[in-house]
Chains A and B, each alone.
Chain A
Amino acid sequence: MSEQTTLDKVPAPRPASGEKLLEVTGLQKYFPINGGFIFQRRVGDVRAVDGVDFHINAGESLGMVGESGCGKSTTGRLVTRLLEPTGGKVSYAGKDITHSSRKELAPIRSEIQMIFQDPYASLNPRQTVGSIIAGPMEINGINPTGGRERRVRELLEIVGLNPEHYNRFPHEFSGGQRQRIGVARALALDPKLIVADEPVSALDVSIQAQVVNLLQKVQQELGIAFLFIAHDLAIVRHFSQRIAVMYLGKIVEIGDRESIYGGPRHPYTHALLSSSPEADPDDDGRERIRLAGDVPSPINPPSGCRFRTRCWKAQDKCATEEPPLVRLGGNAEGHLTACHFPEEPTIEAREEDIVLDPALAAIEEAADETP
């Protein structure tokens, strides 16, 4: 696999970086839950995404982290308009695409591409790699100079696959190679924005790094903006200049890499960072926070601040008043936090660990009493 492939064959579309490519305001997606007897009616909603604001600048990578059910994947699908938002607004390059029809979306579809988690399920097993990658060009009627086949071979080379494997089928490739095919397909239309939904989490560790490096190369050398959705905090940090932390359908904290990882303010961000396993036996300098229980259901999310049911700083105010996503005093510009009682901006170990889990607390207390 050639990691050293150059990208000079690609005419790089470099939008002026810094300008807002994608802007999302108040984005909502409710999935109705139908029930009732004989005649189905709406008995409730899964509030997958419930009022999310963010933007992505051209050429920039925004990382999105959070645990299952936080709505990060749904957000990705709303942005690419694979799903229709329930509320809020999505605008791409200044154009409102929230409720655009298929026809209106057609020119934009080629500029926003998606990479999926499962490289096994997202490639048609009956198509050759060549036709998979050429598919988007055919659909959009794009005829690159030199023909589609030449372009496909170029793309295969860019993603580190042998261009001669043009006529092979997906099952002849390993998981990592299939994900490269997915990347090549996404690149086929010279996109300006790629939404990557857990692009490496189905892959083995040694293969993950290959794909992360490939995506990073694509991002930097082709100037493509990314919405990089993943649950692995270290990979998101490695890949993204800015990071949004989601919890139960809301962004609880967003900011540049250094602020989020070095000086987080939201208790949930602290808990996430503290839980992230590090391959280092000597990282005892990190704070230890162990939450209790799992994430609540997005069907009936807690009132006020959604994290309050698992938060050690929660007070009455948190139940009644939803904290706005704002810049707190002392935070860098663009570092926004939605919390009434924010934490200190440090991840250093505390005098006393925060252990909310009842089983852990009981055992550790007993151990402390009888050393």
Chain B
Amino acid sequence: MLRFLTRRVLGAIVILLAITAVTYFLFFVLPSDPARLACGKNCSNPDVVKAIHHRMGLDLPVYQQYWDYIRGIFVGRHMPDGQNCPAPCFGFSFVNDQPIWPTLTDRYPTTLSLAVGGSAAFLVIGVGLGMLSAWQQGKTFDRVASSISLVGNSVQIYFIGPLAIALFADNLGWLDHGHDPTWGSDPTGSFSGLVLPCLVMSVIFWSNYSRQTRSLMVEQLAEDHIRTARAKGMSSRYVFFRYALRGAAASIITIFGIDLGSVFGGAIITEATFGLHGLGTLAVNAVLGLDLPMEMAVMIFSASAIVIFNILVDTAYAIIDPRIRLS
């Protein structure tokens, strides 16, 4: 297991390096000159541009720039213009000249909370519904659930979000309007402020997970080893939860791993729908403002998050399936 984990972590580091390299060089070859973006109206004078180039380190060879950038993330750096940027250093925003990292740490809790909370919601609800359907296979519950999931499959966050706010927050008053979490100072408030956004975000995933879970469970229940377990007298309930669910869980986790990207996507749309301030709005503003360092940072940050979650998913998979762990 330790070996498995080391391999995964080493692999993840390589992948992250590759991602940073590709993004970095992608931005580098973009036709727009960052120096011109940074200097605004004063760019008519080529000497000014050259000075800015020097200040931003753009006159160095590209591999040197990349190396400085990566090093900066780990040990911090002194920018060529003498500004100090402590680790982890992602440079300074072109738009307001502020260091990137504090802005990121300010924003990511919202997105991360949404992603984690939303995932928890749709896994519990979706997988639970799917299991119930499989247990009641062919009966009324199963049929009703599968019709509902067809409807659920076609809704969008920005459509049900406002509806849910109007119904549950404004009219019924059951749930808080969504607001940004401040876990350090107000954990309960943060939680209640996330319930509605997380539930709304989870809706788009429910139907898929309930249908997948149902068919995986039905498939598992038809497996030979289920028949063996029943042949040795284990009860239907035991067989369902211990044997079939274990097999289905492995596949559900795989599907979840593939969905991680869309989960972050969903979190970003949810932020916008509920007017929250997370990485999504940050990224959108960075793109609109041509704030390259910020775009880079958000990209690297979300890529790292997805890679880390992927390791967690792989680990969970290895725990469930000994064939992965022991070969």
- Tell me, in angstroms, the Cα distance from A37 to B6 when the chains sit together: 10
Residues on B with C-beta less than 8 A from A38 are 10-11, 14
> Is there a chain A Cβ closer than 8 Å to B237's Cβ?
no
From residue 3 to 40 of chain A, which have CB atoms closer than 8 A to chain B? 37-38
- For B7, list chain A residues within 8 Å (CB): 37
Give residues 5-21 of B contacting A (CB, 8 Å): 7, 10-11, 14
Bound Cα distance A38, B10 (Å): 9
When C-beta atoms are compared, the residue in chain A nearest to B10 turns out to be: A37
Q: Which residues 89-121 of B have a CB within 8 angstroms of A?
A: none
Tier of interface size on chain B: under 10
CB nearest to A37 among chain B residues: B7
CB distance from B156 to the nearest CB of A (A): 39
With CB as the reference atom, state the residue of chain A lying closest to B14.
A38
Instruction: Give CA–CA (A37, B14) in the complex, Å.
Output: 11
> Which residue on chain A has the smallest CB distance to residue B6?
A37
Q: Which residue of A lies closest to B11 (CB)?
A: A38
Alpha-carbon distance A38/B12, docked complex (angstroms): 11
B140 smallest CB distance to A (angstroms)? 36
Chain B nearest CB: distance from A184 CB in Å? Answer: 35
Closest to B15 in A: A38
* A277-317 Cβ-contact flags toward B at 8 Å (1 or 0): 00000000000000000000000000000000000000000
Residues in B neighbouring A37, C-beta threshold 8 A: 7, 10-11
Q: Is the interface of A mostly helix, strand, loop or mixed?
A: loop
Proximity string of chain B (1-36) to chain A, C-beta cutoff 8 Å, 1 when within and 0 when not: 000000100110010000000000000000000000
Please, which residue of chain B has its CB at the minimum distance from the CB of A38?
B14
Render A36-48 as a binary contact track against B, CB cut-off 8 A, 1 for contact: 0110000000000
Report Cα–Cα, A37/B11, bound state, in Å. 8
Distance (Å) between the CB of B287 and the closest chain A CB?
Answer: 33
- Complex Cα spacing A37 to B10, Å: 9
Distance to closest chain B CB from A39 (angstroms)? 10
> Contacts of B10 on A, CB cut-off 8 Å?
37-38
Q: A38 CA to B7 CA in the complex, in Å?
A: 9
Smallest distance from the beta carbon of B19 to chain A beta carbons, Å?
Answer: 15
Q: Which residues of A lie under 8 Å from residue B14 when comparing CB positions? A: 38
Minimum CB–CB distance from B12 to chain A (whole Å) comes to: 11
In the bound complex, CA of A46 to CA of B271 (Å)? 54
The digit string for A201-241, where 1 denotes a CB below 8 A from any CB of B, is 00000000000000000000000000000000000000000
Segment 95-112 of A: residues with Cβ below 8 Å from B: none
In chain B between 203 and 232, which residues have their CB closer than 8 angstroms to a CB of chain A? none
A251 to B7, CA, bound (A): 41
**Bound CA–CA A286/B7 (angstroms):** 55
Least CB distance from A24 to B in Å reads: 34
A38 to chain B, nearest CB (A): 6
State the CA gap A186–B7 with chains docked (Å): 48
- In angstroms, how far is the closest chain A Cβ from the Cβ of B327? 11
- Considering the complex, which residues of chain A in the window 23-81 have a beta carbon less than 8 Å from any beta carbon of chain B? 37-38
Bound form: Cα–Cα A218–B275 in Å: 79
Question: Cα distance A38–B13 when bound, in Å?
Answer: 11
Cα distance A81–B260 in the bound complex, in angstroms:
45
CB distance from B228 to the nearest CB of A (A): 21
**Complex CA–CA separation, A125 to B11 (angstroms):** 42
Q: How far is the CA of A30 from the CA of B11 in the complex (A)?
A: 29
Shortest A362–chain B CB gap in Å is 25
CA distance A37 to B7 in the complex (A): 7
Within 8 A of A (CB), among B30-83: none
Min CB gap A36→B, angstroms:
10
How distant is the Cα of A309 from the Cα of B77 in the complex, in angstroms? Answer: 65
Least CB distance, B7 to chain A, in whole angstroms: 6
| A43 smallest CB distance to B (angstroms) | 13
Closest chain-A Cβ to B70's Cβ sits at a distance in Å of 19
Roughly how many angstroms separate A38 CA and B17 CA in the complex, as a whole number?
13
Q: How far is the CA of A38 from the CA of B11 in the complex (A)?
A: 7
**Whole-angstrom distance between the alpha carbons of A38 and B9 in the complex?**
12
Give min CB distance, A350 to chain B, whole Å.
39
Interchain nearest-CB distance for B3 vs A (Å): 10
Closest chain-B Cβ to A157's Cβ sits at a distance in Å of 42
In angstroms, Cα B6 to Cα A38, docked, is: 12
Q: State the CA gap A37–B13 with chains docked (Å).
A: 13
Interface residues of A in 318-364 (CB under 8 A from B): none
A128 CB → nearest B CB, Å: 33
Shortest beta-carbon distance from B123 to chain A in Å: 32
A235: min CB distance to chain B, Å? 28
- Distance of A173 Cα from B14 Cα, bound (Å): 53
A169, B312: Cα distance in complex, Å: 49
A34 nearest CB across to chain B (Å) = 14
Closest CB in chain A relative to B11 CB, distance in Å? 7
**What residues on A are CB-neighbors of B11 within 8 Å?**
37-38
Output the least CB separation between B4 and chain A (Å).
Answer: 12
- A223 to B14 alpha-carbon distance, docked (Å): 61
A158: shortest Cβ distance to chain B, in Å? 40
Residue of A whose beta carbon sits closest to that of B7: A37
Give the Cβ gap from A302 to chain B, nearest Cβ, in Å: 23
Measured between alpha carbons, how far is A38 from B14 in the docked complex, in Å?
Answer: 9
CB distance from B234 to the nearest CB of A (A): 26
Closest Cβ of chain B: how far from A44's Cβ, in Å? Answer: 14
B137-162 Cβ-contact flags toward A at 8 Å (1 or 0)? 00000000000000000000000000
A367 to chain B, nearest CB (A): 28
Which residues between 166 and 200 of chain B lie within 8 Å of chain A, taking CB atoms?
none
Return A149 CB to nearest CB of chain B, in Å.
44
Q: Could you tell me the distance in whole angstroms from the C-beta of A46 to the nearest C-beta in chain B?
A: 15
6 inter-chain pairs at a CB distance below 8 angstroms, sorted by A residue, are A37-B7, A37-B10, A37-B11, A38-B10, A38-B11, A38-B14
Q: Interface on A for B, CB 8 Å cutoff?
A: 37-38
Seen from chain B, the residues whose Cβ lies within 8 Å of a Cβ on chain A are: 7, 10-11, 14
Q: Which 3 A-B pairs have the closest CB atoms?
A: A37-B7, A38-B14, A37-B10
